[in-house]
Structure 1
């Protein structure tokens, strides 16, 4: 019987792979045969530890991962990868797929993997659709979309001062610019422009 090669991945540097590592070791993967990518998205093509793990696989070995999304995001990519492993005589074992352990060395495991990969992609597309729908609705309602705040030019701040000096309420001017009154006054101070209060 070949070796078990384990692969773990976390998408951000703030996350840790401890749980994945524990599960992989409990499944029989030796720590020396365990490869981990930190701060690497599943959508990225280049994953250094993943590439090293795949290079370490020989015929008869099995690549072990905790969940399907550790491999990537696209069903097509996952299925192509599983097929490439099969052609190389290597199995793929997913510890938590559909509530159980799935090994592509078996016909049933191979079929379950294909179905679950398709479901994982469908779930990702539904999530993406929800986000797009939410952004569209928030934009149509004129609501804040979050993200990075827009920056205001010195010229915009000087125009705001002219409006305030002309009698417009500072609170309304700030709201029209999409900032708080305190932020507006701070920007005015930064420009050393005297403003009416």
Structure 2
């Protein structure tokens, strides 16, 4: 019987893989056969931990992931991976797919995987459409789109200019304001009718 090779991934460094790791270990994956990517998007073609996991697979082994989206973002990518693994004689097991455990080494599991991969991509595309639509509506209505707001008034920047002119170091004034020197210089340059430093 082949080995179970586990793979866990989170998209940002602030997220944790603890739950995925616990589920994979609970499914029988040995800790030595577990590969993890931290802060790596599923949209990236090359993921170091994923590449190591796939490289560790031999005929008869099974790649185990907790959810379908750990494998990638597009149906095409996921189906190509499933096909590649099948050709190598490697199984693919998704622990939480459709409320159950799906194993692509059996025909029913392979069919369910294909359908769920298509649904996962469709869900992602619907989310993108909603976001794009929302941004367009907010822009058309002249509403705020978010992003960084200008925190300092021209009056505050003029005060910073006076401090610099009186001998305070630019770096210190910028630090006290909580902005970079480059930002302070840019704001000073953009002040209407003010002498630059």
Do 1:188 and 1:194's aligned partners in 2 also have CA atoms closer than 8 Å? Answer: no
Match of 1:74? 74
Equivalences for residues 166-181 of structure 1 within 5 A: none
Gap runs ≥5 in structure 2: 163-190
Match of 1:15? 15
**1:184 Cα deviation from its structure 2 partner:** 3.5
Give the alignment's TM-score, normalised by structure 2.
0.80
Q: Whole-Å Cα distance in 2 between the matches of residues 44 and 63 of structure 1? A: 19
**1:194 Cα deviation from its structure 2 partner:** 11
**1:187 Cα deviation from its structure 2 partner:** 2.6
Equivalences for residues 105-124 of structure 1 within 5 A: 105-124=105-124
Give the alignment's TM-score, normalised by structure 1.
0.80
Name the SS of the counterpart of 2:153 in structure 1: helix
Q: Whole-Å Cα distance in 1 between the matches of residues 111 and 50 of structure 2? A: 24
Q: Whole-Å Cα distance in 1 between the matches of residues 155 and 102 of structure 2? A: 61
Worse-superposed segment, 105-114 or 137-146: 137-146
Name the SS of the counterpart of 2:145 in structure 1: coil
Describe the superposition over 1:139-191 as per-residue Cα deviations: whole angstroms up to 9, x where unpaired.
00111111234xxxxxxxxxxxxxxxxxxxxxxxxxxxxx57x6332233234
Match of 1:83? 83
Q: Whole-Å Cα distance in 2 between the matches of residues 122 and 194 of structure 1? A: 51
Describe the superposition over 1:71-94 as per-residue Cα deviations: whole angstroms up to 9, x where unpaired.
010000100110000000001000
Gap runs ≥5 in structure 1: 150-178
Count of paired positions = 165
Name the SS of the counterpart of 1:20 in structure 2: helix
